[in-house]
Amino acid sequence: MPKVLRITNSDSGIYILEIKINRDFTVSTKTFENFTFKKGFYYYVGSAQKNLKSRIQRHLKKEKIIHWHIDHITTIRESEITSVYVFRSKKKDFECELVQTLTRKGILKYSAKNFGNSDCNICDSHLLYSNKRIPYNQFSRLYQSIVRFNPSSNEISWE
């Protein structure tokens, strides 16, 4: 029986959304209107210093008001959030540290400059890319505290 990840709104932390895209696409925002995103796997690194539960649940919804850059991707028909990686109780500065480590080690590469990092002056982007899915063990080798769940399973309990 899989371990159940329990997330409450009193939790804070850093998360990675693993998003599978089945075709090349563009987004309807002025900043990226002439940019073509390639099909493949996108890894969006975000943070919630409160209300972690609500933040992740919002990302999982297809129907929502576009608020953040990532909403332009998570709302398109061809996108599917296949995994969510969670680092509970990690502070905001870990978000950029994580992005820097994943790109420096060559695990992922930057996708679109200035995507999802408007509150950051360190990273080129918080949206990373790979043409193939990155195995969980590549993340867990670097970070033993990482927890992964599949949004379409019973591996998560919203408390």
DSSP, res 141: H
**Phi-psi region for residue 59, left (φ > 0), alpha (ψ -120 to 50) or beta?**
alpha
**Mean pLDDT, rounded, for 45-55:** 89
Categorize the per-residue pLDDT at 15 as very low, low, confident or very high, splitting at 50, 70 and 90: very high
**pLDDT tens readout for residues 65-109:** 988 889 989 998 889 999 999 988 889 889 999 999 999 999 999
| Overall residue count recorded for the chain in this entry | 159
pLDDT above 90: percentage of residues in the chain: 47
Give 65-117 as a DSSP string. Answer: ---STTHHHHTSTTEEEEEEEEEET--THHHHHHHHHHHHTTSSEE-STTSS-
Tell me if the pTM is above 0.85. Answer: yes
pLDDT surpassing 50 at residue 1: no
Between 132 and 113, the higher pLDDT residue: 132
Tell me which residue has tokens 């591996």: 155
pLDDT of residue 69: 86
